[in-house]
Structure 1
Amino acid sequence: MKWRQVTGTTCDPRMPLKLKGKIYKSVIRPVMLYGSECWAVKKTDEKRLHVAEMRLLRWMCGVTRMDKVRNEYIRGSLKVAPVTEKLKGNRLTWYGQVKRRDETHVTKRIMSLHVDDKMEREREAKEKMDGLCEK
């Protein structure tokens, strides 16, 4: 919905690309990543966010996939970082806030909670910290 509200400005060829990038960073990307601190992000979710972001950025630049313009060039012209990096940054920020809370706070207690798994699993369960940083 936010995209449709600003599409008149962001898709206007007379607007400078740098201004379009600022609009994207301040209006559209926060809406895309709202609540992302608590998501259990999978590779498919990251891929969907990347595809949606690139579709928006290409549309803002007036470029189609048929023009064969590289994603790095589009990001560079708009001065926009990849959405997956911002997603990881948001998660790290949230994690830092949780770590600074006092020991009696609910989120701090849940982060240190250990549950014994009684059932056998066919695959290994994801840990709480898997999404925070690359291993």
Structure 2
Amino acid sequence: MGLIRRLKVTQRDLERAMLGVSLRHHIRNEDIRKRTKVTDIARRIAKLKWQWAGHIACRTDGRRGRKVLEWWPCTGRRSVGRPPTRWTDVLARVAGIRWMRDAQDRSLWRRLGEAYV
């Protein structure tokens, strides 16, 4: 989550620079966002991630993208502590454990995507 946070901070800084507003002016970020009409970077990233996952799940040509998403590591012993979150864990939390099957139905996938984003 540190990367998303840094991107959001950078985006707010750039929006303030576009408008020529400094932090000393005490203008809220929401007001600046309304003025610039720029989409939030975190929302855009989440939307693109969801669309890409749906695109990969619908592929049937056997390319690497789908194989990488279906791969499950089996290295033997697990490391101490909480396991790192995989890319698909976030999708499975929203769409369910069988998210690849649900991605085949475009209307269902779009509805789930609206909830995700």
Q: Cα offset for 1:68?
A: 0.8
> Which residue number in structure 2 is paired with residue 37 of structure 1?
none
TM-score of the pair, normalised by structure 2: 0.70
- CA-based RMSD: 1.9
Report SS of the residue matched to 1:52: helix
Of 84, 87, 102, the match for 2:42? 84
Change (3 A) 1:47 1:108: same
Q: Cα offset for 1:132?
A: 4.4
TM-score of the pair, normalised by structure 1: 0.62
**2:65 counterpart of 1:107:** yes
Report SS of the residue matched to 1:97: helix
By percentage of residues, which structure has more helix? 2
**2:107 counterpart of 1:126:** no
Query: Does the CA contact (< 8 Å) of 2:7 and 2:41 recur in 1?
Result: yes
Query: Does the CA contact (< 8 Å) of 1:103 and 1:109 recur in 2?
Result: no
Q: Cα offset for 1:130?
A: 3.5
Equivalences for residues 1-40 of structure 1 within 5 A: none
Change (3 A) 1:134 1:44: farther
> Any unmatched runs of 5+ in structure 1?
1-42
Using the alignment, how far apart are the partners of 1:62 and 1:133 within structure 2? 42
Of 64, 75, 85, the match for 2:22? 64
How many residues are aligned here? 93
Q: Percent identity?
A: 23
Counterpart residue type for residue 86 of structure 1: R
> Any unmatched runs of 5+ in structure 2?
95-117
